[in-house]
Amino acid sequence: MNGSRTDSRKLIVEGLWHNNPIFRQVLGICSTLAVTNLVLNTVVMCVALIFTLSLSACTVSILRTLTPRNIRMMVETLIIAFYVIIVDVLLKAYWPEMSGNLGPYVGLIITNCIVMGRCEAYGNSNPPVRALMDGLFNALGYSFVLLIIATFREILGMGTFLGISMPYFGGPRWDKWIIMVMPPGAFFMLGIVTWVFRSIEIRMENKNK
């Protein structure tokens, strides 16, 4: 009991911090750059990734003893595609505006390296519940970094947060930074966020020594 609790604790800390998909593994950058100019788009993208990543890691793990090793990548891609199509169809049917906003990026979760990476690195060799946990917390690690980037981009670039005008930034005194809404703005924000988080991490490690 005690052992499993420290295990899940380790999974949480790894996914959210020490092995964070964005600023440690530097995976899934494509979607980070593409969908973070509005907070609402980012939230939906994160939910889609959380769903896909945790469930596909879990499914890969359930099938792991059965799947022949030489075709495991094919099976993994198939499983990931399955969940992504479900999300895509759901959005198209019940939230067409959002589906339009995200454009091709929901479908591109299939090629998001985080999903494949977690299925390969963890789902393939661990029991289903732990694979689910690992997928979930990696996805959450991805989500919180994306949300930070999106918040800065939307406020600085458009003066709004979730579409609501912000004091000062929404007013005439703030000259909106259009570059923040464009793809280059995402590069700068991602660079700054990675820099800040890694510095904090190095400082923490030095303290522990």
Partner 1 sequence: MIRKKSWFPVLYMFCVTAFFSSIVIGFTRFTNERVEANQMLAFEKAVLTVLPGLYEDKLSRMELHRKFTESVDEPDAFSGGAYTLKQGGKIIAYALPISGRGFWAPIRGLIGIKADGRTITGIAFYEQNETPGLGAEIAKDSFRNQFRGKEISDSGKPINIRRPGSILSKSDVHAVTGATQTSNRVENIINTALKKWRTEVTKNTETAE
Residues of this chain that bind partner 1 (CB under 8 A): 37-38, 41, 63, 66-68, 70-71, 74-75, 78-79, 82, 85-86, 89-90, 92-94, 96, 100-101, 103, 154, 157-158, 178, 181-182
- Closer to partner 1 by Cβ: residue 140 or 149: 149
H helical segments located in the chain: 2-13, 29-35, 39-62, 72-94, 96-102, 113-121, 128-158, 178-181, 183-208
The minimum distance between CB 151 and partner 1, in angstroms, equals: 14
Tell me the C-alpha distance between 28 and 70, whole Å. 25
Q: If you search the block for the tokens 């998909």, which residue do you land on?
A: 21
Is there a contact between 57 and 130 (Cβ–Cβ < 8 Å)? no
- Closer to partner 1 by Cβ: residue 20 or 36: 36
Q: Give the other-Cβ count within 10 Å of 144's Cβ.
A: 14
- Closer to partner 1 by Cβ: residue 5 or 94: 94
The minimum distance between CB 29 and partner 1, in angstroms, equals: 19
Q: Give the other-Cβ count within 10 Å of 194's Cβ.
A: 16
The minimum distance between CB 78 and partner 1, in angstroms, equals: 6
- Closer to partner 1 by Cβ: residue 12 or 73: 73
Strand pairing partners for 160? 165
The minimum distance between CB 120 and partner 1, in angstroms, equals: 17
The minimum distance between CB 190 and partner 1, in angstroms, equals: 17
9, HSE (Cβ side, Cα atoms, 13 Å): 6
- Closer to partner 1 by Cβ: residue 4 or 100: 100
Is there a contact between 190 and 34 (Cβ–Cβ < 8 Å)? no
